[in-house]
């Protein structure tokens, strides 16, 4: 089988930009939602990153588990 190495491939920034097109944001609201998480999403991540909370949330639900450890 052929083995390809990408380490030696270099292309100019202008050429690369021709291949990759960024999606335009329709409004500042969409931009805001893309970069900032809701408080509920932050709570879920906090619980998921703490194994006892994550385990308990599978047993009794997120709200009870979160309140048990962080409430």
Domain ranges of the chain: 38-70
pLDDT in tens, 40-54: 999 999 999 999 999
Is this model's pTM higher than 0.85 or not?
Answer: no
Name the nearest CA neighbour of 69 among 50, 4, 39, 61: 50
pLDDT in tens, 5-43: 556 666 676 676 666 666 666 788 777 777 788 899 999
């Amino acid at each position: 089988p052929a083995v390809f190495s990408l380490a030696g491939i270099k292309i100019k920034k202008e050429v690369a930009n021709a291949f990759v097109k960024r999606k335009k944001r329709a409004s500042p609201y969409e931009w805001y939602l893309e970069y900032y998480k809701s408080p509920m999403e932050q709570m879920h991540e906090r619980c998921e990153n703490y194994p006892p909370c994550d385990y308990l949330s599978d047993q009794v639900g997120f709200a009870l588990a979160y309140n048990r450890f962080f409430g």
